Amino acid sequence: MKSIFRFFIKLFLWFVVLSVGFVVLFKYVPVPITPLMVIRYFETTENTKLWKHDWVSIDNISKNMQLAVICSEDQKFLEHNGFDIEAIEKAYDYNKKGKRIKGGSTISQQTAKNLFLWPNRSWLRKGLEAYFTFLIEAIWTKERILEVYLNSIEMGEGIYGAEAAAQHWFKKSAAGLDTHEAAAIAAILPNPRNYRANPASNYIQNRKEWIVRQMQFYGKLDLKSEK
């Protein structure tokens, strides 16, 4: 029993050391690949087609794109420490009543999941997601969290990151996205494999217009002054 106990203690310590090490590493270096990219690659029947993923600095992603995802996904991003308790409670109450599952994840939680974990829902994954969310909030800046998020999130079938999405949907760089183009990409994030940013369906058009209004209400985005 003692040897088994020591084994699990060592396993736990190695997990902590490696996980902290990777979080520190990705504070400074671009993320070349995520578990979701690999999973999606093997899910598709076109295995010869590689995903599109071009890492760019946040300085080369338009402020419109940065603000659009914040207004769409997590308007309290600059205020919370990784978890929006109010949003989680609302999602929990909604899911008890409805058939469709509604998430309450913040941008920080989505970044932790995209970078280190798998997409399927389970208590184990949610626990690990909370752990990695705590780590990136403690070690990274908000600007870095948003930079990794915007470079790793799925934004279409086989499309990952703002640069690849801008090129795919609007034939331009992420730096050149205007307000409506950025809002259109943000509008498809709940289901990027089924929705299209351009041309947009009536549903996506309505979501885009709502996001544009939220961007106008939000005002100027200043990540440099944040943790």
Phi first, then psi: what are they for 218, rounded to 5°? -65, -40
Contacts of 170 (CB under 8 A, 6+ apart): 177, 181, 197, 198
Per-residue confidence (pLDDT) for residue 48, from 0 to 100: 47
191 has pLDDT over 60 = yes
What would the mean pLDDT of 35-49 be, rounded to a whole number? 75
> What sign has the CA pseudo-torsion 58, 147, 76, 156?
positive
At residue 3, the pLDDT reads 83
Residue 81 lies in a domain: yes
Q: What local confidence, expressed as pLDDT, does residue 42 receive?
A: 82
Structural domains in the chain (count) = 1
- Asked if residue 156 is part of any domain, the answer here is yes
Q: How confident is the model at residue 25 (pLDDT cuts 50, 70, 90)?
A: very high
Contact 159, 142 (CB under 8 A): no
Query: Within a domain: residue 160?
Result: yes
H-type alpha helices, the chain: 2-25, 35-43, 63-73, 85-97, 107-116, 123-139, 142-152, 162-170, 179-187, 202-218
Q: Which residues have a Cβ under 8 Å from the Cβ of 99 and sit 6 or more positions away?
A: none
Q: 172 lies in a domain?
A: yes
pTM over 0.85: yes
Using an 8 Å Cβ cutoff, are 83 and 103 in contact? no
For the stretch 84-137, pLDDT in tens is 887 776 766 665 656 555 557 899 999 999 999 988 888 899 999 999 999 999
Helix (H, G, I), strand (E, B) or coil at 77: coil
Residue 26 belongs to some domain of the structure: no
Instruction: Compute the distance between CA of residue 224 and CA of residue 222 in angstroms, rounded to an integer.
Output: 6
Which residues form the domain of 144?
32-218
In whole angstroms, how far apart are CA 167 and each of 25, 32, 135, 172, 226? 28, 18, 32, 5, 29
More confident call, 113 vs 6: 113
The answer to the question of residue 10 being in a domain is no
For residue 79, the domain's CATH number is 1.10.3810.10
